Structure 1
């Protein structure tokens, strides 16, 4: 297990379109394990392989939602692996979330996406899966699949908002 370097804007690797995984094998599972280690270390809830300079269609997500509504409730890990994920369908109904990204640190913007989606993918054993998702999971899946296609969440907001966000990021990096 290893902590991988997360690419940050404007790295050109974030615009790469990932290739399908040919076979789910031990090498693929090692990449998945490293991606989870990296995501947890960075305190994220999702990570696409392209964000760690691996141009393969692999996504890991763990919303780490609390076990209850109590203020001191601990987050529960529920890791999900999506290999060669493909959106089968999306709803016409939209939802809005204040999205952030490990590749655009500490910057957030309201993004509208389909409220629900149906996804087909391979699990970490290579078995085909298909399921409907809603809420934050639907948003996270669509966000991470965008990464696999070289698209960032800032591509879904206005140029004015994107420019403001990038100025804030530049200022933050300068300290």
Structure 2
């Protein structure tokens, strides 16, 4: 099943997500649905809050980047916990399916160590660096209620205010289904 993507302005994107209890949901089915949703929107990562589910789960697939080392980087992260972020901070222009048509330079540490469960409830503790670490950090932020725009300077945020307000109103062009925040 392909879900619509929740866009900027929806409260679920700013809420810290809850842990998943083993057996609570079928994480294998949900992960396959999340991969299908991400691929349909030409993404490389998708967190559960982006499909309206406030749970600690995300999927990544770096293969579309066609970079060395990414050919097998397709993973499911359930109840992840970043244990350590190290190395130099480096800048890269990030985008987000929930914040369409906006890309900005974000600084992140080059390495991380993370503990998580996969879709078979096998626990892992792995280290990642470079682009793999960045993709994980971006998706991990989502389950913490943080968006890449939260990492921007106050000046950049002010410059983007109009574009972000347009997204909340549905004034954007995307080639995937989205959920527009409900007016309160």
The TM-score, its normalising length taken from structure 1, stands at 0.88
Counterpart of 2:75 in structure 1 is 80
Specify which structure has the higher proportion of strand.
Answer: 2
Deviation at 1:166, TM superposition (A): 3.5
Determine which of 132, 136, 143 is the counterpart of 1:141. Answer: 136
1:154 paired to 2:149? yes
Q: RMSD in angstroms over aligned alpha carbons?
A: 2.2
Secondary structure in structure 1 of the residue aligned to 2:171:
helix
Secondary structure in structure 2 of the residue aligned to 1:139:
helix
Return 5+ residue gaps in structure 2 as ranges: 174-184
Deviation at 1:136, TM superposition (A): 1.0
CA distance in 2, matches of 1:11, 1:101: 14
Return 5+ residue gaps in structure 1 as ranges: 69-74
The number of residue pairs the alignment matches comes to 168
The TM-score, its normalising length taken from structure 2, stands at 0.83
Deviation at 1:27, TM superposition (A): 1.2
Runs of 4+ in structure 1 displaced over 6 angstroms? none
Secondary structure in structure 2 of the residue aligned to 1:55:
coil
Counterpart of 1:122 in structure 2 is 117
- Maintained 8 Å contact 1:118/1:132: yes
